[in-house]
């Protein structure tokens, strides 16, 4: 070990004599050399006079380590003016590079001893936890690097990679709800089928009162095969936030012979952090060959090694029982509660999107219906805490407060106790049954959905089963995951062998045939190993390469689109996320079919822009391939209807931020509209601080685009018209509960006339008259709740569409106008028709505003 | 090494236990509190002579209703010494060495303290140390270990051991 001068000496010092010679034994605290230093001291005489004097003092430097002196790095007589100068090299008998419980495992010395010469405790020499199951064994960096090299060689030789596997909600789901046991025993229970293969174990010192607690474990479908197959190309490690005992029990269940995971289990007890998972804990040196699968990306800080898995949500509403240690997922989500009430639809859609693990494409019409069954709204009460994982993750972003571990443990205990006590599954089943009874009279179609009605993420698969069981078992995630893992593995080793052969002499070497050149050196062959952090993202980014996505109605209002879970994921798969529909946009991922952006995409996309439901994105990401969009196309035909309802929806969903005053401002701004030119408005709206809705932003863009010559040819227009007509034709299917305000009928007729006779009248009048009432009611509610949509309204102004937001009455008219002029192709031409149009809008707006006011 | 050790402990009793069976209760409490614990120097294995234990008079703690009893008792204690040879059961193995439990004492045998012919084999299932002969060290194997050092923290002890000597190793 190289000795250095500490900072504590009185510099400059002059070395006067070297007291030890090379090959001498040096004990701890033995003097190594003597030196002298000068300092100012105060001297005095008997008369009370004092003065400053410079004095020189001799002293000795003592060794802080023991061993054999190899050589000196300084000479006698040298003057050293600063610390950290090398003085001598001493070979220690033991480097203390592996320590156990504060002892060096080689020499048995206590590493925490310190004395007056100690500069660094010996325990700081080995700080890295290398072993999964024990925190008291620490090793030094050198030792860790050596171990790592060894491990890498072993993996390369067997053509494997490391795979870190999360347990909860990734490959299993656990609950302590004793209802599961009851259902298992009761063969007549509708859930019996689903739970009959649920495994259970008793954890003694866990749970409330330390009486022990039964855990029920549901394995993700296909798990056994998955582990079996994956373990051939990966070395698997468990990394869970559960306790050690829990992890062990799970491992016993999923890997009874311990062939797959062996002892490579890391639990909360050894993790070192209770809020995050850290790859460095397992792979301190480098993580080039490590892949992670986990259902939560945030705990890994979205590490590039991560393959995010759709959370396995078999026990509906239970979630991850060990998550109280992780950054909290929002339970009832206080901040979004209001929105939940006001905007049931977007939320539901999202829930579906996030929780539906079934790869089978959903039928569009079905999706719409699901969201629109009355029961959805009725049971919307935000009672249960299971929101979509997507939203949870989104909302969780900032909530990583450093609560004490004790508090977390308590919380966990409480959560378990609550689960034992409340039997959430039983409650849900009861609720389900009650709802069934209630909806029995309604169309058979609807009953599946009523099951879904509970805001907890029930599966949409409900609809196809006649019997109403809460739990179902259709998850296919692991099969896709296995494929993905295969892909990564193949890609990794392709690159590796390519680089290896290149390094072995490149083309020349290959031509020479079998004559292989020697590898440059042992070390450098490890340097050739590609980095999974590069390989994995590159594999992923091919999936959606060239896709430019605009989200519409998917992201909760007030959330930055770019930072949401789905956006991050989509981006990691190579998609580009755009805020607004633009020329480069290829896909609009929309949860609802009449959002502004969707309309815009239809208008401007001319079939180029594919409008799909969020399930398309989810499935593409899950399968790691750009799945065929066709089954996912949004039912855009509904769009032509009395639409602009989305504005309605918007205002509802936005409502938390809205207020009476908001409404007022909107009115006023609307009034001033005539003076504003279209071009200026966009800016205006963008500046608006309230502007939280993504869709609104789209509006501004729309305006801008309008002036652009894109797609302005007549042919295009006629084509568009045809398309629209087609859409319109199927309007009837489109059930938009959202919106339509009263008075639509009039509007619609107007629309019909103006709107180039698209045959929408029938649809409009039909759909609207039915829906109108509901829409109005909703709207009133929103206003009554003090939720108005300031931002929206501002946006709305931009277009002629404002009307929609406020009064649907005009909507139709406006819409028609819009369709006729803008949608229809009016990109360049907002000449005369426009002014006339505007006037009309004006009038309507005024009327509207006053109406709204009254309502509010 | 095992010792008979005389010790003393103060037990506080809630008034609800005052009564004819108070001694029995104190004895129960003593066993519960003391047996199987680690003082940092040694492990208390077993409390002896429970009938002849010497209880002090109970003394009510001023300001509260609980009573303090001082109990003198004798216990079998186990203290591991450096250089002592003990038997252990392997709890896990990894490339750095072997974790083994000597009764309550967690012990680690470093790879430097393992005979050089016994090598780490990470590819075996489960991973093990083996000389490719009859010596296989994996989880559950019985080992004879020589303790090379011990260290105590508050309420816990650690030891490191060696099997690199004659007559040590698998049993």
CB B47 within 8 A of CB B34: yes
Distance CA A548, CA A639 (A): 22
- Residues A538-564 have pLDDT tens digits of 888 888 888 888 887 777 767 777 777
Distance CA A696, CA B171 (A): 77
Residue B81 backbone dihedrals phi, psi, to 5 degrees? -120, 150
CB contact under 8 A, A108 and B160: yes
CB contact under 8 A, B122 and A154: yes
Edge-to-edge strands, sheet with A98-100? A103-104, A98-100, A137-139, A128-129
> What pLDDT is recorded for position A408?
64
Distance CA A250, CA A232 (A): 21
- Residues A347-369 have pLDDT tens digits of 333 333 333 333 333 333 333 33
pLDDT (mean) for B149-169: 89
Q: Using the predicted structure, report yes or no on whether residue A110 has a pLDDT greater than 80.
A: yes
> What pLDDT is recorded for position A732?
45
Q: Which residues of A touch B113 (CB under 8 A)?
A: 105-106
Active-site pick, A166, A449, A458, A705: A166
B142 pLDDT band, cuts 50/70/90, is very high
- Residues B66-110 have pLDDT tens digits of 999 999 999 999 999 999 999 999 998 888 899 999 999 999 999
Catalogue the E-assigned strands of A569-643. Answer: 576-578, 587-590, 610-612
Nearest to B108 among A110, A137, A258 (CB): A137
Edge-to-edge strands, sheet with B119-121? B119-121, B128-130, B136-137
Which tokens hold the place of A599? 């309309």
Report the candidate in B26, B24, B46 with the shortest Cα–Cα distance to residue B35.
B46
Distance from CA of A148 to the nearest CA of B (A): 11
Task: State the helix-helix crossing angle for A334-342 and A389-396, rounded to 10 degrees.
Answer: 140
What b-and-e string marks burial along B107-118, b requiring 16 or more CB atoms within 10 Å of the CB? Answer: bbbbbbbbbeeb
Which tokens hold the place of A168? 């909860």
Distances (CA, A) of A440 to A426, A435, A437, A461: 21, 8, 5, 18
> What pLDDT is recorded for position A795?
44
> What pLDDT is recorded for position B90?
94
Q: Alpha-carbon Rg of chain A, whole angstroms? A: 35
**Percent of chain A predicted with pLDDT > 70:** 55
> What pLDDT is recorded for position A637?
57
What b-and-e string marks burial along A214-227, b requiring 16 or more CB atoms within 10 Å of the CB? Answer: bbbbbbbbbbeebb
Average confidence score pLDDT of chain A: 67
Q: Using the predicted structure, report yes or no on whether residue B124 has a pLDDT greater than 50.
A: yes
**Percent of chain A predicted with pLDDT > 90:** 2
Give the DSSP H/E element, type plus range, for residue B143: strand B142-153
Nearest to A263 among B92, B109, B151 (CB): B92
- Residues A20-71 have pLDDT tens digits of 888 889 888 889 899 999 888 888 888 888 888 898 999 998 888 888 999 8
Q: Using the predicted structure, report yes or no on whether residue A425 has a pLDDT greater than 70.
A: yes
Report the candidate in A668, A570, A669 with the shortest Cα–Cα distance to residue A624.
A570
Which tokens hold the place of B74? 């004798």
- CB atoms near residue A65 (< 10 Å): 17
**A168 is an active site residue:** yes
Edge-to-edge strands, sheet with A67-72? A2-4, A86-91, A67-72, A25-26
Q: Using the predicted structure, report yes or no on whether residue A825 has a pLDDT greater than 50.
A: no
CB A615 within 8 A of CB A353: yes
CB contact under 8 A, A258 and B123: no
Nearest to A105 among B125, B150, B160 (CB): B160
Any B CB within 8 A of A265 CB? no
Distance from CA of A143 to the nearest CA of B (A): 9
More confident residue, A456 or A468: A468
CB A63 within 8 A of CB A3: yes
A232: CB partners within 8 A, 6+ apart? none
> What pLDDT is recorded for position B45?
92
Task: State the helix-helix crossing angle for A364-372 and A344-355, rounded to 10 degrees.
Answer: 130
Distance from CA of A243 to the nearest CA of B (A): 18
Distance CA A20, CA A33 (A): 7
What b-and-e string marks burial along A522-550, b requiring 16 or more CB atoms within 10 Å of the CB? Answer: eeebeebbbbbbebbeebbebbbeebbbb
- CB atoms near residue A188 (< 10 Å): 6
More confident residue, A493 or A784: A493
Q: How open is the CA angle A150-A156-A161, to the nearest 5 degrees?
A: 100
Residue with tokens 């030890």: A20
Q: CA torsion angle for A642, A648, A649, A650 (degrees, to 10)?
A: 130
- Its pTM stands at 0.62
For residue A325, give the DSSP letter.
Answer: G
Distance from CA of B111 to the nearest CA of A (A): 9
Distance CA A239, CA B136 (A): 28
Distance CA A151, CA A353 (A): 40
Nearest to B110 among A105, A150, A263 (CB): A105
Separation of first and last alpha carbons in chain B = 20
CB contact under 8 A, B123 and A154: yes
Distance from CA of B2 to the nearest CA of A (A): 22
- Residues A186-245 have pLDDT tens digits of 777 777 777 778 888 887 765 455 567 788 888 888 888 889 999 889 989 998 888 888
Distance CA B6, CA A598 (A): 85
**A166 is an active site residue:** yes
Report the candidate in A348, A351, A369, A363 with the shortest Cα–Cα distance to residue A439.
A369
Any B CB within 8 A of A360 CB? no
For chain B, the residues whose C-beta falls within 8 A of a C-beta of chain A are 82, 92-97, 99, 106, 108-110, 112-113, 122-123, 125-127, 139, 148-151, 153, 158, 160
Distance CA A171, CA A236 (A): 13
Distances (CA, A) of A136 to A244, B108, B156: 15, 10, 12
What HEC string does A542-567 produce? HHCCCCEEEEECCCCCCCCHHHCHHH
More confident residue, A376 or A445: A445
Give the DSSP H/E element, type plus range, for residue A534: helix A532-543
CB contact under 8 A, B92 and A105: no
Report the candidate in A696, A727, A674, A708 with the shortest Cα–Cα distance to residue A793.
A696
> What pLDDT is recorded for position A842?
65
CB A321 within 8 A of CB A415: yes
For residue B41, give the DSSP letter.
Answer: S
Q: How open is the CA angle A365-A369-A374, to the nearest 5 degrees?
A: 170
A326 pLDDT band, cuts 50/70/90, is low
More confident residue, A720 or A819: A720
Ordered alpha helix ranges (H), chain B: 22-34
> What pLDDT is recorded for position B67?
92
Catalogue the E-assigned strands of A123-225. Answer: 128-129, 137-139, 161-165, 172-175, 199-203, 213-219
> What pLDDT is recorded for position A173?
86
User: Would you mind telling me the total number of residues written for chain A in this entry?
Assistant: 856
Residue A358 backbone dihedrals phi, psi, to 5 degrees? -70, 130
CB contact under 8 A, A105 and B106: no
> What pLDDT is recorded for position A468?
58
């Amino acid at each position: 070990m190289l000795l250095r001068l500490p900072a504590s000496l009185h510099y400059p010092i002059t070395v006067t004599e070297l007291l030890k010679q090379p090959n001498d034994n040096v004990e701890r605290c033995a003097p190594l050399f003597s030196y002298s230093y000068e300092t100012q001291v105060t001297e005095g005489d008997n008369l009370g006079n004092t003065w400053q004097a410079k004095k020189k003092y001799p002293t000795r430097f003592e060794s802080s380590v023991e061993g054999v002196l190899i050589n000196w790095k300084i000479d006698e007589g040298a003057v050293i003016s600063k610390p950290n100068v090398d003085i001598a090299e001493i070979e220690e008998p033991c480097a203390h590079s592996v320590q156990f419980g504060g002892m060096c495992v080689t020499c048995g010395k206590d590493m925490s001893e310190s004395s007056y010469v100690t500069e660094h405790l010996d325990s700081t020499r080995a700080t890295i936890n290398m072993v999964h199951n024990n925190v008291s064994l620490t090793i030094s960096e050198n030792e860790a690097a050596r171990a790592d090299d060894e491990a890498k060689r072993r993996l390369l030789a067997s053509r494997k990679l490391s795979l870190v596997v999360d347990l909860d909600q990734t490959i299993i789901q656990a609950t302590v709800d004793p209802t599961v046991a009851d259902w298992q025993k009761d063969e007549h229970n509708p859930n019996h089928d689903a739970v009959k293969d649920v495994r259970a174990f008793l954890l003694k010192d866990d749970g409330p009162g330390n009486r022990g607690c039964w855990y029920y474990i549901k394995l993700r479908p296909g798990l056994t095969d998955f582990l079996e197959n994956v373990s051939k190309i990966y070395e698997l490690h468990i990394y869970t936030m559960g306790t050690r005992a829990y992890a062990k029990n799970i491992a016993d269940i999923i890997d009874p012979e311990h062939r797959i995971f062996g002892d490579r289990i890391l639990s909360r007890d050894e993790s070192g952090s209770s809020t995050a998972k850290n790859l460095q804990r397992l792979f301190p040196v480098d993580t080039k060959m490590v892949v992670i699968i986990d259902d939560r990306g945030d705990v890994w800080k979205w590490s590039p090694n991560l393959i995010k898995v759709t959370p396995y949500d078999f026990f509906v509403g239970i979630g991850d029982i060990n998550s109280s240690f992780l950054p909290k997922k929002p339970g009832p989500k206080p901040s979004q509660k209001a929105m939940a009430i006001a905007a049931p639809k977007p939320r539901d859609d999202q829930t579906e999107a996030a929780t539906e693990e079934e790869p089978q494409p959903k039928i569009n019409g079905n999706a719409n219906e699901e969201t629109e069954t009355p029961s959805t709204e009725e049971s919307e009460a935000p009672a249960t805490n299971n929101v979509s994982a997507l939203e949870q993750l989104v909302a969780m972003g900032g909530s990583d407060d450093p609560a004490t571990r004790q508090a977390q443990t308590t919380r966990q205990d409480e959560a378990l106790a609550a689960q034992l006590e409340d039997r959430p599954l039983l409650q849900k089943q009861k609720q389900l049954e009650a709802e069934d009874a209630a909806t029995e009279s309604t169309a058979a179609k609807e009953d599946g959905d009523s099951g879904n009605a509970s805001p907890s993420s029930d599966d949409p698969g409900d609809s196809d089963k006649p019997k109403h069981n809460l739990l179902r078992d259709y998850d296919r995630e692991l099969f896709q995951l296995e494929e993905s893992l295969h892909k990564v593995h193949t890609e990794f080793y392709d690159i590796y062998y390519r680089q290896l052969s290149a390094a072995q002499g490149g083309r020349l070497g290959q031509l020479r045939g079998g004559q292989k050149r020697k590898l440059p050196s042992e070390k450098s062959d490890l340097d050739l190993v590609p980095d999974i952090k590069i390989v994995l993202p590159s594999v992923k980014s091919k999936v959606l390469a060239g896709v430019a996505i605009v989200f519409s109605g998917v992201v909760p209002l007030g959330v930055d689109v770019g930072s949401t879970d789905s956006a991050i994921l989509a981006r990691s798969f190579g998609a580009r996320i755009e805020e607004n529909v633009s020329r480069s946009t290829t896909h609009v991922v929309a949860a609802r079919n009449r959002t502004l952006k969707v309309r815009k995409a239809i208008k401007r996309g001319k079939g180029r822009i594919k409008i799909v439901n969020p399930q398309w994105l989810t499935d593409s990401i899950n399968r790691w391939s750009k799945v065929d969009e066709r089954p996912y196309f949004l039912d855009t035909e509904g769009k032509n209807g009395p639409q602009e309802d989305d504005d309605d929806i918007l205002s509802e969903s936005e409502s938390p931020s809205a207020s009476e005053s908001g409404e007022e401002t909107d009115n006023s701004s609307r009034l001033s509209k005539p003076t504003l030119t279209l071009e200026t408005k966009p800016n205006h709206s963008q500046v608006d601080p309230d502007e939280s809705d993504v869709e609104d932003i789209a509006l501004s863009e729309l305006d801008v685009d309008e002036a652009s010559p894109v797609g302005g040819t007549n042919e295009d227009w006629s084509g568009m018209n045809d398309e629209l007509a087609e859409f319109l034709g199927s309007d009837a299917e489109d059930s938009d509960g959202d919106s339509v305000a009263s008075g639509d009928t009039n509007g619609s007729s107007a629309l019909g006339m103006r709107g180039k006779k698209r045959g929408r009248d029938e649809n409009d009048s039909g759909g609207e008259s039915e829906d109108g009432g509901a829409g109005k009611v909703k709207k009133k509610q929103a206003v009554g709740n003090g939720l108005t949509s300031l931002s929206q309204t501002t946006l709305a102004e931009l277009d002629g569409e404002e009307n929609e937001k406020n009064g649907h009455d005009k909507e139709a008219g406006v819409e028609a106008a819009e369709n006729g002029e803008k949608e229809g192709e009016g990109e360049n031409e907002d000449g005369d028709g426009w002014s006339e149009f505007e006037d009309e809008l004006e009038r309507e707006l005024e009327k509207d505003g006053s109406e709204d006011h009254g309502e509010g | 090494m095992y010792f008979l050790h005389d010790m003393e402990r103060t037990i506080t009793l809630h008034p609800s236990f005052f009564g004819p069976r108070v001694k029995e209760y104190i004895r129960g409490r003593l066993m519960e509190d003391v047996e199987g614990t680690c003082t940092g120097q040694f492990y208390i294995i077993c409390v002896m002579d429970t009938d002849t234990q010497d209880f002090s008079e109970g003394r009510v703690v001023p300001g509260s209703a609980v009573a303090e009893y001082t109990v003198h008792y004798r216990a079998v204690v186990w203290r591991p010494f450096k250089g002592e040879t003990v038997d252990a059961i392997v709890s896990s193995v990894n490339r750095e060495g072997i974790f083994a439990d000597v009764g309550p004492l967690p012990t680690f045998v470093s790879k430097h303290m393992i005979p050089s012919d016994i090598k780490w084999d990470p590819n075996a299932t489960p991973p093990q140390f083996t000389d490719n002969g009859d010596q296989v060290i994996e989880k559950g194997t019985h080992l004879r270990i020589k303790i090379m050092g011990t260290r105590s923290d508050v309420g816990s002890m650690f030891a490191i051991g060696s099997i690199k000597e004659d007559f040590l190793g698998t049993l």
